[in-house]
Amino acid sequence: MLRQAANVWFDTIIQVVNGITIPNFESDGDYMKDNTFYIDQRISGVTLSSDVANNAIVLNCNKLTAKFRSSNFHYHIAPLMNANGYVEVDMESVDIGFGLQFLLQDVTQPDGSVR
């Protein structure tokens, strides 16, 4: 049951990662604009382990596929030589891990006890 939960939690975190906006890059007239990064699919299951020292659980997946794309690319190579267009990168075996740390907060109750 925990393994199934780990897969669901991991997939939810991946949805958040896929929603992150990748900033444009520009330097000395070279640029990469309209960038996207997308984790395409999870090929293997997620492992769930504990990190007792940090009061955390760790979710790892060793086989993901992901894609990076820049729809508007320009790179000045040498005088009168420029590369223009788009860039696509397909990543076939990506390893990603996430740690979820749980923080405890002491709350003083009206009777003076701490929970």
Q: What pLDDT does 8 receive? A: 84
Contact assessment for residue 68 and residue 91, using Cβ atoms and an 8 Å cutoff: yes
* Domain coverage including residue 28: 2-43+64-97
The Cα 96–Cα 85 span in angstroms is: 30
Average confidence score pLDDT of the chain: 87
Contact assessment for residue 98 and residue 59, using Cβ atoms and an 8 Å cutoff: yes
Number of domains the chain contains: 1
- State the Rg of the chain over Cα: 21
Q: What pLDDT does 1 receive? A: 64
- Domain membership of residue 19 (yes or no) is yes
Q: What pLDDT does 30 receive? A: 94
Tens digit of each residue's pLDDT (9 = 90 or more) over 66-98:
999 999 999 998 888 999 999 999 998 888 888
pTM: 0.67
- Domain membership of residue 38 (yes or no) is yes
Phi, psi at residue 43, to the nearest 5°?
Answer: -90, -35
